């Protein structure tokens, strides 16, 4: 079954095809208005959302299909203790495709292993958000006319910012991209992104705490919200929440054609006055998100029976438990604990659900 759990599930060529379809939908919506007639999308949102859920729903309705689902875990049987695996089996009896958001990292992957219909990851904890990346890529492509040969600055909460993690994974497959990582020391990008994506792809990057220093170099500035819901200690959130606020003054040193992105929701990291600046593209990103989700639904339904080969090499099962409290294995005890050997020389294994744990040597 073809799913979208991680942005790297799709090749660069497939991403290009999705962008082409999205642009065609934008130009000729009438051609697509009955393509999903008789099909149902289930939106299973265990965590709050405005854009992702409603754009998925709008996407399916504009394709002529219909939508079922819930927007609050407390109104589903998860509140009675039902597992993600069982939920996925049940929803497979009612719908043709699932979009799932969950606070636990790896939950949509577990759903995809148990569903008999395609599963789309609509955001899992601080891990990934591949459909936001589809919106981001189309926006960059439409604004810059290309995705290659650009310098992209990511600013804010790079530790828990799942949209950042997915977009970096996508950009790593394009040529000649420079990355600038702008964050407080406490919110730096996780090691697995540096080791598994940036270093492995020889992607040039620099880390800084200064937005002002980075600004003149950037073709794209990707601002992010500090993710209050991921902090264990509210005092740490309070201390970090205003680390970066983009104002018109700060944009004076930016390139005239720099593109400002933000996955939204914004709290106060971009001043409202910036919205009028031509470089502000975050509301265009919202529209592009719906178009890309339409293209994605069409693709996954068309490929429903195609196989997706997962790399099963170097997997180790059940020797130890993942100790990331945000991982889906922390709540679904019956799941196999599976680790992938990602660095043979240094004996580093990572949990296949959340990726963010590296366990050295212990399971050799």
Binding site for ligand CP (CB under 6 A): 49-52, 123, 132, 263-265
Q: How far apart are alpha carbons 294 and 65 in whole angstroms?
A: 11
Min separation Cβ 225 and ligand CP, Å: 9
Cβ nearer to ligand CP, comparing 69 with 329: 69
Q: Which two tokens mark 171?
A: 């950009």
Cβ nearer to ligand CP, comparing 137 with 348: 137
Name 102's bridge partners.
Answer: 124
Cβ nearer to ligand CP, comparing 286 with 363: 286
Min separation Cβ 74 and ligand CP, Å: 18
The 10 Å Cβ neighbour count of residue 248 is 11
Min separation Cβ 138 and ligand CP, Å: 14
Cβ nearer to ligand CP, comparing 265 with 325: 265
Min separation Cβ 264 and ligand CP, Å: 5
Q: How far apart are alpha carbons 17 and 292 in whole angstroms?
A: 10
Cβ nearer to ligand CP, comparing 3 with 163: 163
Min separation Cβ 236 and ligand CP, Å: 22
User: What radius of gyration, in Å, describes the C-alpha atoms of the chain?
Assistant: 20
Cβ nearer to ligand CP, comparing 126 with 263: 263
Min separation Cβ 47 and ligand CP, Å: 8
Cβ nearer to ligand CP, comparing 97 with 215: 97
Min separation Cβ 49 and ligand CP, Å: 3
Rounded (5°) CA angle 281-287-288: 80
Q: How far apart are alpha carbons 39 and 60 in whole angstroms?
A: 9
């Amino acid at each position: 079954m073809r799913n979208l759990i991680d942005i790297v599930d799709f090749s660069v060529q497939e991403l290009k095809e999705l962008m082409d379809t999205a642009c065609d939908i934008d130009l000729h919506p009438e051609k697509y208005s009955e393509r999903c007639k008789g099909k149902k999308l289930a939106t299973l949102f265990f965590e709050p959302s405005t854009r992702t859920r409603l754009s998925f729903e709008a996407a399916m309705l504009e394709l002529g299909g219909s939508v079922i689902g819930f927007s609050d875990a407390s109104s589903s049987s998860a509140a009675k203790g039902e597992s993600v695996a069982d939920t996925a089996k049940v929803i497979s009896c009612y719908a043709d495709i699932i979009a799932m958001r969950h606070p636990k990292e790896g939950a949509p992957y577990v759903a995809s292993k148990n569903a008999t219909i395609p599963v789309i990851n609509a955001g899992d904890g601080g891990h990934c958000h591949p459909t936001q990346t589809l919106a981001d890529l189309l926006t960059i492509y439409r604004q810059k006319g290309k995705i290659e040969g650009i310098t992209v600055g990511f600013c804010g909460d790079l530790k828990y910012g799942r949209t950042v993690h997915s977009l970096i994974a996508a950009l790593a497959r394009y040529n000649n991209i420079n990355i600038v990582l702008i964050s407080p020391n406490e919110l730096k990008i996780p090691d697995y992104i540096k080791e598994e994506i940036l270093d492995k792809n020889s992607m040039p990057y620099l880390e800084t705490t200064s937005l002002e220093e980075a600004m003149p170099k950037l073709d794209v500035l990707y601002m992010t919200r500090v993710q209050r819901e991921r902090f264990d200690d509210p005092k740490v959130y309070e201390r970090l929440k205003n680390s970066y606020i983009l104002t018109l003054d700060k944009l004076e040193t930016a390139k005239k054609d720099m593109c400002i992105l933000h996955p939204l929701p914004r709290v106060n990291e971009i001043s409202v006055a910036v919205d009028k600046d031509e470089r502000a593209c975050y509301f265009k990103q919202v529209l592009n998100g719906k178009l890309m989700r339409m293209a994605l639904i069409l693709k996954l339904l068309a490929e429903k029976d195609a196989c997706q080969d997962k790399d099963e090499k170097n997997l180790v099962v059940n020797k130890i438990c993942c100790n990331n409290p945000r991982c889906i294995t922390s709540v679904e005890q019956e799941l196999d604990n599976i680790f992938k050997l990602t660095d043979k020389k240094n004996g580093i294994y990572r949990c296949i659900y959340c990726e963010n744990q590296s366990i050295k040597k212990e399971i050799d």
